[in-house]
A and B are shown apart, each in its own frame.
Chain A
Amino acid sequence: GAGVSQSPSNKVTEKGKDVELRCDPISGHTALYWYRQSLGQGLEFLIYFQGNSAPDKSGLPSDRFSAERTGGSVSTLTIQRTQQEDSAVYLCASSKPPGPDTQYFGPGTRLTVL
Chain B
Amino acid sequence: GDSVTQMEGPVTLSEEAFLTINCTYTATGYPSLFWYVQYPGEGLQLLLKATKADDKGSNKGFEATYRKETTSFHLEKGSVQVSDSAVYFCALSDPGREGKLTFGQGTILTVHP
Contact = CB atoms under 8 A, between A and B. Distances in A.
Contacts of A45: 100-102
B1 to A, nearest CB: 10
A45 B43 CA distance: 16
Contact of B106 (A31, A43, A91, A106): A43
Nearest to B106: A42
A75 interface: no
Nearest to A96: B99
B89 A43 contact: yes
B77 interface: no
Interface string A83-109: 000000001010100011111111110
A42 B46 CA distance: 17
B101 A100 contact: no
Contacts of B101: 33, 35, 43, 45, 93, 103
B103 interface: yes
A48 interface: yes
Contacts of A104: 46
Contacts of B44: 43, 91, 93, 105
A104 B34 CA distance: 13
B21 to A, nearest CB: 15
22 contacts: A31-B98, A33-B101, A42-B103, A42-B104, A43-B89, A43-B91, A43-B106, A45-B102, A48-B98, A48-B99, A91-B44, A99-B32, A99-B95, A99-B99, A100-B49, A100-B51, A100-B95, A101-B93, A102-B49, A103-B99, A107-B42, A108-B43
